[in-house]
């Protein structure tokens, strides 16, 4: 159940990013189409973060220390661009226009909104 809750939270945070950032677009008019696209993109984003983020952090550990963690903004933006590219390959109507500012700010908004929503919504492990 916790995975489904996190998936929905990520989908909501992606939706908020499409509303706030003009360079992130969700090109479908129907509500079920938007919800399905956001859930599919949330799955893609979750898989990319689960697989690539630990590898990147391990390999780039020196850069994280050298930049006091600011390189994570670049890494998050690149992972967000990769998510957009994979969504495009899967014919999903989700697109991020460019790296700066769309991908970096979009990844930042998704991260912050997801963090806030995860703090507000219990996932069932608090019992």
- The pLDDT of residue 64 is 94
The residues near 63 (Cβ < 8 Å, ≥ 6 apart) are 71
Can you give the pTM of this predicted structure?
0.91
Q: Looking at the predicted structure, is the pLDDT value of residue 123 above 70?
A: no
Confidence of residue 127 (pLDDT cuts 50, 70, 90): low
- The pLDDT of residue 1 is 81
Are 38 and 30 a contacting pair, CB within 8 Å? Answer: no
Tokens representing residue 38 in the block: 């956001």
The SS3 of residue 96 is: strand
As beta bridge partners, residue 96 has 24
The pLDDT > 70 percentage for the chain reads: 96
């Amino acid at each position: 159940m916790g995975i489904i809750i996190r998936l929905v939270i990520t989908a909501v945070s992606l939706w908020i990013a499409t509303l706030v950032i003009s360079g992130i677009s969700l090109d479908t008019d129907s509500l079920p189409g938007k919800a399905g696209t956001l859930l599919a993109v949330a799955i893609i984003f979750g898989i990319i973060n689960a697989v690539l983020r630990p590898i990147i952090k391990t390999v780039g550990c020196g850069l994280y220390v050298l930049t006091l963690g600011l390189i994570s903004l670049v890494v998050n933006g690149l992972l967000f661009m990769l998510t957009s590219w994979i969504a495009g390959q899967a014919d999903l109507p989700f697109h991020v226009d460019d790296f700066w500012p769309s991908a970096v700010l979009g990844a930042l908004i998704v991260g912050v909104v997801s963090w806030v929503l995860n703090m507000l919504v219990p996932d069932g492990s608090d019992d």
